Amino acid sequence: MASLIVITGPTAVGKSELCIDIAKYYGIPIINADSRQIYRELKIGTATPTEEQLKSVKHYFVGSISIDNYFNASMYEQDVLTLLDKQFKHSPIQLLTGGSMMYIDAVCNGIDDIPTIREDIREEMKKRYANEGLEALCEDLRRLDPEHYEIVDKKNYRRVIHALEICYQTGRTYTSFRRQEKKQRPFKIIKIGLNREREELYHRINLRVDQMMTDGLLDEVQSLQSKRTNNALNTVGYKEMFTYLDGTWSLEEAVERIKGDTRRYARKQLTWFKRDEEMRWFHPQQKEDILKYISQYE
């Protein structure tokens, strides 16, 4: 039976380097599961694989669409399943890696049937956001759906509002709609989580942000000023730089904010992935142990 290796973990843990080695070992491509690396304009701030890495191993869903195009987890699910159907004809093992929680869930479990929001609910939430602000809406979400509150990006007003829309329209938690029956896939899924000691991970995050600045993150963000309302740019690294460009923060403060927000995002990723009892955890340097673990399913 065909097998899909899924390697995930928090940002900056070392997924890319390990997965390139594993892809070369099996002679297979890498299927990217980072929701922001998909956009071709977002290279530096998303730590997109280097040109050398992209040349060494074929990558799918890296820089494949523009931020001007709409794309979501449901579309990603269908595109990946279509790709896997083709790729399994060449090799019974395929590799998917990234840290975007909903994208990985979409491929492994399928997208939940989230209701379409009524216009009156949508308008009411827009008014509340304008009148009460994001902090009040976050507190409302904490009361109505404490489980989703723990993992949602509390600075992303669209995600907070959407979860509240579901709560108010249905009388149920948003979390309850993300627990539907798991879709069966015609292939085995081997889930591998990567992690490091917290201080080690945080140090790597800080170094990565410093490297992004050296590589030209500020210039990249400046080139995207006219598109700053695009949802693809409502993400760590870009939001903070836009605030600096607005004159609210100094550049030094913006960089420190990026580091802090990235560390918080890493904690949310780990909270999400550690709920999955099928996940087997390794340190990124345990390549031989990981290959041995995968070999049990071949």
Contact 219, 212 (CB under 8 A): no
What are the angstrom distances between the C-alpha of 262 and each of 207, 221, 292?
Answer: 12, 17, 32
CATH of residue 222's domain is: 3.40.50.300
Which single residue is written with the structure tokens 């290796």? Answer: 5
User: Which pLDDT does position 118 carry in this prediction?
Assistant: 87
Considering all CA atoms of the chain, what is the largest pairwise distance in Å, rounded to the nearest integer?
57
The C-alpha angle with vertex 45 and arms to 43 and 47, in degrees rounded to 5, equals 65
User: Which pLDDT does position 246 carry in this prediction?
Assistant: 96
User: Which pLDDT does position 186 carry in this prediction?
Assistant: 95
State the average pLDDT over residues 128-141. 95
Residues 6+ apart with CB under 8 A from 224: 41, 67, 233, 238
Identify which has the larger pLDDT, 297 or 194: 194
pLDDT, tens only, 247-256? 999 999 999 9
User: Which pLDDT does position 298 carry in this prediction?
Assistant: 76
State the average pLDDT over residues 269-282. 95
pLDDT, tens only, 171-181? 999 888 876 66
User: Which pLDDT does position 116 carry in this prediction?
Assistant: 77
State the average pLDDT over residues 45-55. 96
**191 and 84 share one domain:** yes
User: Which pLDDT does position 39 carry in this prediction?
Assistant: 97
State the average pLDDT over residues 9-31. 97
**65 and 164 share one domain:** no
User: Which pLDDT does position 117 carry in this prediction?
Assistant: 85
**154 and 275 share one domain:** no
Tokens of 262: 């990235």
Sequence-ordered strand ranges (E) for the chain: 3-8, 30-32, 59-60, 93-97, 188-194, 280-282
Label residue 107 by pLDDT band (50, 70, 90). very high
State the average pLDDT over residues 233-251. 96
Tokens of 166: 């579901």
Name residue 20's amino acid. Answer: I
Contact 144, 73 (CB under 8 A): no
**170 and 97 share one domain:** no
Q: Residue 9 above 70 pLDDT?
A: yes
CATH of residue 146's domain is: 1.10.20.140
Q: Residue 189 above 70 pLDDT?
A: yes
Tokens of 270: 């780990």
Cα gap 149→153, rounded to integer Å: 8
Q: For the chain, what percent of residues have pLDDT higher than 90?
A: 83
Lowest mean pLDDT among 59-63, 158-162, 197-201: 158-162
State the average pLDDT over residues 107-116. 81
**289 and 229 share one domain:** yes
Angle of helix 157-170 relative to helix 119-132, nearest 10 degrees, comes to 130
**79 and 204 share one domain:** yes
Which single residue is written with the structure tokens 């790709």? Answer: 83
Q: Residue 139 above 90 pLDDT?
A: yes
Label residue 72 by pLDDT band (50, 70, 90). confident
**84 and 193 share one domain:** yes
User: Which pLDDT does position 179 carry in this prediction?
Assistant: 61
Q: Residue 281 above 90 pLDDT?
A: yes
Which single residue is written with the structure tokens 């340190």? Answer: 283
Last residue of a domain, one of 147, 178, 209: 178
DSSP assignment of 203-223: HHHHHHHHHHHHHTHHHHHHT
Domain of 123 in residue numbering reads as 119-178
**37 and 84 share one domain:** yes
Last residue of a domain, one of 133, 157, 178: 178
Q: Residue 62 above 90 pLDDT?
A: yes
Query: Total structural domains in the chain?
Result: 2
In which order are the strands placed within the sheet that holds 30-32?
A: 59-60, 30-32, 93-97, 3-8, 188-194, 280-282
CB count in 10 Å sphere of residue 127: 10
Which single residue is written with the structure tokens 């948003």? Answer: 174
Phi, psi of 47 (to 5 degrees): 55, 45
Contact 173, 167 (CB under 8 A): yes
Q: Residue 290 above 90 pLDDT?
A: yes
Q: Residue 214 above 90 pLDDT?
A: yes
**87 and 208 share one domain:** yes
Cα gap 285→220, rounded to integer Å: 32
Closest CA to 166 of 132, 140, 133: 140
Cα gap 70→68, rounded to integer Å: 7
Cα gap 53→24, rounded to integer Å: 11
The mean predicted confidence, pLDDT, of the chain is: 94
